[in-house]
Amino acid sequence: MKNQSPYKSLKVEVLISAMHKMSLAFVENMFPFHELINLNILIINQTDKGKELQSTFPNIRVVNSYGKGLSKSRNLALQNAIGDICLIADDDVEYLPDFEETVINTFIKFPEASIVRFKIETFSGEAYKRYPISSKKLNKKKEIENTSSIEIAFKREAICNKVQFNTNFGLGSYFTCGEEYLFLKETLKQHKKVYFENTAIVKHSVKRSTSNLGSDQFVKAQAALYYHDYKLLSYLYLFKFVFFLLRKRIISIKYFISKFMVGVLAIKFYKTLKDEKY
């Protein structure tokens, strides 16, 4: 008789970052193909005093937080997670019918993986972004820099208390994106294995919070990431990025210098931060 794989009994937990929720109605919208009682869910609800979210489901835990910032919410989820495999989630997504089976089978397929990056579909069934054409191990910067949080599943024992999100990055922070890249970069730095699985587990609307490459917010974050990775060479990479925006006609020539200076000032500010972790 063959031994049953220990992965078959793994508990999957979905870690949802939410804001100002006072009922669990949004959770039902996230899982239209599932009975909530059969799921394991942790909700980090950033809210105000007196407006806390409550759960009557034993399998749906709620932590009400009075702080702000998406990366702070993610880190609080990491601190409170209890699942064997955890999925990072937002409150505006919809999970596919077989997402749990897909996740568990993928960690069986890649037993050394600490993190697996999955695909997102749009609500019309198309790929949310350009993905690798096949499943693979991820090692290079360019292979992780386009990752969205809701694509990430991880083994709790491998990640929690070992890797965190950089709270200088992410929605609600000065640098409004880039936190996923830094999270995965630190994971690789610790010699943990990251894989990509060419299968979707979740749906999201086409609109992306970071889709405007020419916005000041995106330029700021990109400049800070360049400094994080390249230090003094970051100014050269910033110049190349702004030139790319010009070449692709995302910005016009009259904004070239001003966009470059937005990045320069962002690097200057980033240098002053005292709590940089990764």
Q: Confidence class of residue 97 from pLDDT cuts 50, 70 and 90?
A: very high
Q: How many other CB atoms are there within 10 angstroms of residue 16's CB atom?
A: 23
Average pLDDT, the chain: 93
Would you state the pLDDT for residue 207?
Answer: 66
Ramachandran class of 170: left when φ > 0, alpha when ψ lies in -120 to 50, beta otherwise: left
Q: Which CATH architecture has domain 6-203?
A: Alpha-Beta Complex (3.90)
Residues 78 and 6 sit within 8 Å (Cβ to Cβ) = no
Spell out the domain ranges in the chain.
6-203, 216-272
Q: State whether residue 121 is helix, strand or coil.
A: strand
Question: Could you tell me the end-to-end alpha-carbon distance of the chain, in angstroms, rounded to an integer?
Answer: 47
Q: Across the chain, which distance is largest between two alpha carbons, in Å? A: 72
Residue 62 or residue 141, greater confidence: 62
- Tokens standing for 176? 């409004």
Share of the chain above pLDDT 70, in %: 94
Which pair of structure tokens corresponds to residue 91?
A: 């409150």
Instruction: Give the list of residues 6+ apart from residue 93 with CB closer than 8 angstroms, or none.
Output: 30, 150, 202, 203, 204
Residues in a beta bridge with 62? 43
pLDDT at 204: 95
Question: To the nearest 5 percent, what fractions of the chain are helix, strand and coil?
Answer: 40, 20, 40
Residues 6+ apart with CB under 8 A from 124: 206
pLDDT computed for residue 206 by the predictor:
82
pLDDT(276) > 70: no
137-165 mean pLDDT: 96
Q: What pLDDT does residue 2 have?
A: 46
What tens digit of pLDDT does each residue of 180-236 get? 999 999 999 999 999 999 999 999 998 654 458 999 999 999 999 999 999 999 999
Per-residue confidence (pLDDT) for residue 10, from 0 to 100: 85
More confident residue, 212 or 124: 124
Predicted pLDDT at 209 = 46
pLDDT of 7 reads 53
Give DSSP secondary structure letters for the chain.
-PPPPGGGGPPEEEEEEEES--SSHHHHHH-TTS-GGG--EEEEEE--TT-------TTEEEEEE----HHHHHHHHHHH---SEEEEEETT-EE-TTHHHHHHHHHHHSTTEEEEEEEEE-TTSSBSS---SS-EEE-SHHHHTT--GGGEEEEHHHHTTT----TTBSTTSSB-S-HHHHHHHHHHHTT-EEEEEEEEEEE--S--TT--TTSHHHHHHHHHHHHHHHGGGHHHHHHHHHHHHHHTTSS-GGGHHHHHHHHHHHHHHHHH-S----
The amino acid present at 113, given as its one-letter code, is A
